[in-house]
Chain A
């Protein structure tokens, strides 16, 4: 059974296997198909039109399915590997072990934001950035460099987890409710702010170019599970007949064979190292 663990608790061997599987996925070309898919959705999901992966209720089930597919790809290389999560309320500085050279490597140098250490640094030759929005073929980061920007606190997370309603009309970036506050278009801003805090490709539509994308979204996914545990009488909304939006039993692109209802219970696929 797949257990997703807090990245801070991984052993040296678990980190090495995770990194090696990422690099093999990259070498095979499969990694970049995930980057392409994400960018296609982020450019086409709009507040006033069809929206599936972002700025809509299906943000959470869409990313749950996307991460499952990615985790299965890693496991096809090394069956012991699972997706770790990054609790950015706890590991909230560039000095976290997450950013050490034996794991994801650190922030970028000031001149061009180029990551200089770890397996994903351009100099390693393992991690060319091919799916990109500009000419730069190297991984970039600027951890926390955005003018006084800090990662969300536990109290801010708890304030969002306390919201009893999953999502509200108009089911987009202007919505009230748990989903949009977690996504970050409204209120204290959780998910979006973390992308900006990391900087580099993580702040762009091709954000999965940085492997921390998966650890960030694995924690966002865990927060959905935590919210469900806190609000057992609340569930996914809307439940039917909503234009441009994925209702509970509608299928989601690009898979077209999976619905939000299929994604509600994560324990069908994996558990977390702590009770959710």
Chain B
């Protein structure tokens, strides 16, 4: 929450953006499998930090949404601040997401409503944004 950690996080983000495109391509291969799971809650046994959802990359209602396990932090359950080990982007801007204890997900633009997985969170964010651009992260 400190300014320092926010800044260092932004720096870290900038450093990883360069490789993001390549990862996103790999993620697309998993997209159809992920779609099959949409609408189903992750099994509670998978709620631990060692079972991150797979990557995804798609155009949803005209916006590019991407998700992937974070390359840093490793999803540590106690590094909890921010990404919880998984990053979601809408048109290249990071959407702050968080995993709940039961394996469901929320985002900063739908913070009081849970979703089955990061893709569902990203799609809900696109609907909520009504074409608007995400503010620089963190808000």
Contact = CB atoms under 8 A, between A and B. Distances in A.
Interface of A: 39-40, 42-44, 46-50, 55, 112-113, 131-136, 170, 172-174, 184-185, 191-193, 195-196, 203-207, 244
The 10 closest A-B pairs by CB, nearest first: A49-B80, A46-B80, A48-B77, A174-B101, A195-B112, A47-B101, A192-B112, A134-B132, A205-B108, A135-B132
Contacts, number: 100
Interface string B57-88: 00000000000000000000111111010000
B23 interface: no
| Interface of chain B, main secondary structure | loop
B37 to A, nearest CB: 21
Interface string B107-139: 011111110000000000000111011110011
A182 B112 CA distance: 13
Nearest to B137: A133
B102 interface: yes
A113 B102 contact: no
Given A40-B1, A203-B128, A206-B139, A49 B81 contact: yes
Interface string B38-66: 00000000000100000000000000000
B21 to A, nearest CB: 23
A244 B130 CA distance: 37
Nearest to B114: A185
B96 to A, nearest CB: 6
A127 to B, nearest CB: 18
27 contacts: A39-B108, A40-B1, A43-B81, A43-B138, A46-B81, A47-B99, A47-B100, A48-B49, A48-B78, A48-B101, A49-B78, A49-B79, A49-B80, A55-B100, A132-B139, A134-B129, A135-B132, A135-B133, A174-B101, A193-B112, A203-B113, A204-B109, A204-B111, A205-B96, A205-B111, A207-B111, A244-B78
Contacts of A193: 112
